[in-house]
């Protein structure tokens, strides 16, 4: 279990992560989703002690990463697949890592097999493709047979077969009761891989819920409602329930979420408000996600209203 509490990380006057709190649970795959620059890598680096929090805390199974006696056996992390000594072979790289943790050669062979690197294990890492580098990074993360896995953009550079492999591997590891936390900037990818999503936008958490709920939220269709009395209609619509939003798109146009067109029509009629347009609009998954994350702060205040 990873517990992130009120974590803030600033670089100079740039706040990369802004008071985030989340719990990553064992037994499920948790996706960490957010556009580039949202603060995912910074959070992951803080989990393994590479970035020191400006304030707040992160623990893995109740302890800070550095306080674990053999961190590699506790937490396996893929953070930057390129940060590998390029002159070494994949096998020697893993062997050197294993040696520092008292991990035997047989485990090195095991992780090489698990990650499909047998044919290139004796080749120098410098010549590896991005995809092979990712596999090697995942092999290194698995070396200590850790209870917790943190993978930053693990499918980056992988071909479709590799993407499928990561999906199956992470599901398998979670089914063994491990904590699996992986990041991506692609919602479509995470929707197929993760059980639970933590969505980050501009350093803040904008959703922390099962995938199905986040999908429903992100793909929730809106209704375009045009009326000369938009300002009168909006409060009557939002009075219908806490999840209803009615945002003015133009002076006489509302974008309404959380109510079906029929109900909007009824409410307008009861109030004697004429409608000039009532059009359902369904956003595509990626469009909705971009919208969700682009204006993280505004969105947050809308959903929590
Ligand atoms: N060492 C650093 N010094 C200064 N700014 C940094 C540093 N590391 C990250 N940042 C900034 O903090 C913000 C969050 O970066 P981070 O890498 O955590 O985002 P991310 O969600 O992982 O994005 P990506 O998918 O691009 O890696 C960005 O604006 C980034 O430029």
Of 73-82, 131-140, 237-246, the one with minimum mean pLDDT is 73-82
- ipTM for the assembly: 0.95
Q: Does the beta carbon of 185 lie inside 6 Å of ligand 1?
A: yes
Q: What is the pLDDT of residue 300?
A: 42
**Residue from 8, 18, 38, 203 whose mutation best tests the ligand 1 pocket (most atoms within 8 A of CB):** 38
What distance in angstroms lies between residue 79's CA and the mean position of ligand 1's atoms?
A: 13
Please state the pTM of the whole predicted model.
0.76
Of 9-13, 23-27, 241-245, the one with minimum mean pLDDT is 241-245
Classify the phi-psi angles of 28: left when phi > 0, otherwise alpha if psi is within -120 to 50, otherwise beta.
beta
Ligand 1 atom 1: the closest Cα is on which residue?
11
Domain 2-209 has CATH 3.40.50.2020: no
Q: Enumerate the β-bridge partners of residue 280.
A: 223
Ligand 1 atom 3: the closest Cα is on which residue?
11
What distance in angstroms lies between residue 249's CA and the mean position of ligand 1's atoms?
A: 32
Where in the chain are the domains?
2-209, 221-282
Largest CA distance in the chain: 78
Q: What is the pLDDT of residue 297?
A: 40
DSSP 52-71: --SEEEEEETTB-GGGSSSH
Q: Does the beta carbon of 40 lie inside 6 Å of ligand 1?
A: yes
Domain 221-282 has CATH 3.30.70: yes
Q: Enumerate the β-bridge partners of residue 246.
A: 256
Tens digit of pLDDT for each residue in 197-218? 999 988 999 889 888 777 766 6
- Ligand 1 closest atom vs CA 17: 14
Ligand 1 atom 29: the closest Cα is on which residue?
37
Tens digit of pLDDT for each residue in 161-171? 889 999 999 99
- Kindly list the distances between the CA atom of residue 194 and the CA atoms of 147, 184, 244, in Å, as whole numbers in the listed order: 17, 10, 28
- Ligand 1 closest atom vs CA 12: 4
Q: Does the beta carbon of 42 lie inside 6 Å of ligand 1?
A: yes
Q: Give CA torsion, residues 290, 294, 297, 299, to 10 deg.
A: -30
Ligand 1 atom 17: the closest Cα is on which residue?
41
Q: What is the pLDDT of residue 298?
A: 38
What distance in angstroms lies between residue 304's CA and the mean position of ligand 1's atoms?
A: 27
Q: Does the beta carbon of 184 lie inside 6 Å of ligand 1?
A: no
Ligand 1 atom 13: the closest Cα is on which residue?
16
Tens digit of pLDDT for each residue in 85-110? 678 899 999 999 899 888 999 999 99
Ligand 1 atom 2: the closest Cα is on which residue?
11
**Does pLDDT of 147 surpass 70?**
yes
């Amino acid at each position: 279990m990873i517990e992130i509490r009120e974590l803030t990380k600033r670089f100079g006057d740039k706040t990369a992560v802004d008071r985030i709190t989340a719990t990553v649970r064992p037994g499920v795959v948790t996706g960490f989703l957010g556009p580039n620059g949202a603060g995912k890598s910074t959070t992951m680096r803080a989990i393994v002690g590479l970035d020191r929090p400006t304030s707040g805390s992160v623990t893995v199974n109740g302890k800070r990463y550095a306080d674990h006696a053999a961190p590699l056996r506790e937490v396996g992390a893929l953070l930057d697949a390129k940060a590998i000594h390029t002159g070494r072979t994949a096998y020697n790289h893993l062997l050197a890592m294993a040696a520092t943790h008292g991990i035997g050669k047989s485990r090195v062979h095991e992780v090489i097999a698990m990650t499909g690197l047998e044919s290139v294990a004796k080749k120098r890492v410098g010549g590896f493709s991005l995809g092979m580098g990712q596999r090697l990074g995942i092999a290194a993360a698995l070396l200590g047979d850790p209870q917790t896995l943190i993978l930053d953009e693990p499918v980056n550079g992988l071909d479709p077969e590799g993407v499928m492999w990561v999906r199956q591997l992470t599901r398998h590891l979670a089914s063994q009761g491990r904590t699996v936390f992986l990041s991506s900037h692609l919602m479509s990818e995470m929707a197929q891989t993760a059980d639970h999503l933590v969505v980050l936008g501009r350093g803040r958490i904008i959703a922390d819920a099962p995938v199905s709920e986040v999908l429903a939220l992100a793909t929730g269709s809106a209704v375009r409602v045009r009326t000369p009395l938009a300002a009168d209609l909006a409060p009557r619509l939002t009075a219908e329930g806490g999840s209803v939003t009615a945002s003015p798109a133009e002076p006489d146009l509302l974008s309404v979420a959380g109510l079906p067109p029929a109900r909007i029509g009824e409410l307008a009629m009861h109030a004697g408000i004429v409608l000039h347009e009532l059009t359902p609009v369904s956003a595509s998954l990626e469009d909705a996600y971009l919208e969700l994350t682009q204006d993280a702060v505004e969105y947050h205040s809308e959903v929590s209203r």
